Amino acid sequence: MNLVKIDCQKLTLDKEAIHDYLKDVFNFSSDYGRNLDALYDCLTSINVTTEIEITNFGSINENNYGNLVIKVIKEACNDNENLKLDFI
């Protein structure tokens, strides 16, 4: 099982920095598209059990791009049985 920890404080940065962070924590390939559609596609392509731990969720708000990232992660977890999501 893989464990990926996402610190929501890192999701309060600009879009480019957020996608750089996600590319690193998920170990996406260099051709990662760095947008929400690419994030969903990469997450739903994961074929090994992966637990995603979300920390510091209170640091983002509804109008923050990071909130959209969390929504995409939740959707991908619903659509890919290999992904497990936990808010810590």
Average pLDDT, rounded, for the chain: 96
Q: Tens of pLDDT along 44-71?
A: 999 999 999 999 999 988 778 999 999 9
**Domain span holding position 37:** 2-87
Question: Model pTM?
Answer: 0.95
Cβ 52 vs Cβ 6: under 8 Å: yes
pLDDT at 30: 93
Query: What CATH number corresponds to the domain at position 51?
Result: 3.30.370.10
Q: What value does the mean pLDDT take over residues 67-77? A: 97
pLDDT band at 21 (very low <50, low <70, confident <90, very high): very high
pLDDT at 63: 79
What total number of domains does the chain contain?
1
Cβ 85 vs Cβ 74: under 8 Å: yes
Token pair of 23, please? 């590319």
